[in-house]
Structure 1
Amino acid sequence: MVQRFTISLDAELAATLDGYMVKRGASNRSEAIRDLIRNALTLNHTDKSNNCVAVVSYVYDHHERQLGSRLIKHHHEHHDLAVSTLHVHIDHHHCLEMTVLRGPGEAVRRLAEATLAERGVQFGHVNLIPLKEHGGHHQHDDGANHVHQRPAL
């Protein structure tokens, strides 16, 4: 069910919204506003009981004393949440890492924030995506019938 509502924007904000709409490839303002609202609500999603996935991306100076070891230690201590990490060398001093986390929202957020708070992490961002519970049997095109043990998107 779709609910309609009206909002008023000054000309500058409306022009900014139109620019966002074009940049994101949205076909209309409603679609652009729905994207903005979903993103804002997801950023504030901290439901303790719901599962989520998150991508934590951060840049750090690999010369920072023991930082690499501290980051690895965090992920080993939370092996139930840390799924995978991609490590990219940016230059002689800086590395970019992207870590995928999965689990209860509060625990994922806590680990992500602890990672970004480490001394030597220069910039970071968390993209948290809540998961809906998905249960029951289902069948794939190849006829395989099974139950997923993890929540689905």
Structure 2
Amino acid sequence: MKEPLVRFSVAIGGELLRRFDEYRERHRYPNRSEAVRGLMRAALIDEAVDDAAADAMGVVTLIYDHHAPRIAKRLTDVQHDHLDMVLTTTHVHLDHARCLEVILLRGRAAQVRRLADDLIGTKGVETGRLVLASAAPITEGHGHPHPHGHDHPHAH
């Protein structure tokens, strides 16, 4: 069941409003409300994945020279050591020497970060980046798991 929208006011002006409107246009939000909702979701996702125990999805992008000694084997070995977290890998040839690898990970946020650091820090990787997202809905419930799988309302 979809909850009804609630209107609330925000007083803003000057340079901050001008820059916010530029942001909204640049990111193609149709109106200010959609832009505010987008920023709120992004803030809640950032907060959720700050919790080391949160269920998280990670997208790791790596660029490396495939001529670097044993780079492909090292990256594969790291992934094989974490089969429970590696969901899929996509490999793209960028040019004659360089490859892009995109690896989808799922696990506790701290574990995903650690594995991403291991991949990015592999000798021969030119650049690497991790993007984290919450694997749990950010707008449902009250934001933390219960150890025995139960859920109940309570104040925080």
Q: TM-score, normalised by structure 1?
A: 0.71
Q: Structure 1 4/95 Cα, relative in aligned 2: closer, same or farther at 3 Å?
A: same
Tell me which of the two structures has the higher relative contact order, counting C-alpha pairs closer than 8 angstroms and 6 or more residues apart.
2
Whether 2:92 is the aligned partner of 1:93: answer: no
Q: Distance in 1 between matches of 2:30 and 2:21?
A: 10
Whether 2:57 is the aligned partner of 1:53: answer: yes
Give 2:30's aligned amino acid: S
**8 A contact 1:54–1:129 mirrored in 2:** yes
Give 1:132's aligned amino acid: A
What is the CA deviation profile of residues 41-99 of structure 1, one whole-angstrom value per residue up to 9, with x for unaligned ones?
A: 53452323221212111211112222211111110001110111000000011100110
Q: Structure 1 39/126 Cα, relative in aligned 2: closer, same or farther at 3 Å?
A: farther
Q: Distance in 1 between matches of 2:118 and 2:11?
A: 38
| Alignment counterpart, residue 34 of structure 1, candidates 25, 34, 37 | 37
Whether 2:92 is the aligned partner of 1:124: answer: no
Give 1:56's aligned amino acid: V
Q: How many residues align?
A: 132
Identity %: 36
What is the CA deviation profile of residues 4-45 of structure 1, one whole-angstrom value per residue up to 9, with x for unaligned ones?
A: 46364652x544432332233312223223323433453452
Q: Structure 1 50/91 Cα, relative in aligned 2: closer, same or farther at 3 Å?
A: same
Which runs of 5 or more structure 2 residues have no equivalent in the other structure?
138-156
Root mean square deviation, CA, Å: 2.4
Structure 1 or 2: more strand by fraction: 1
Q: TM-score, normalised by structure 2?
A: 0.70
| Alignment counterpart, residue 84 of structure 1, candidates 63, 88, 92 | 88
Classify the secondary structure of the residue corresponding to 1:95.
strand
* 1:141 paired residue number: none
1:125 positional shift: 2.2
Q: Distance in 2 between matches of 1:74 and 1:91?
A: 24
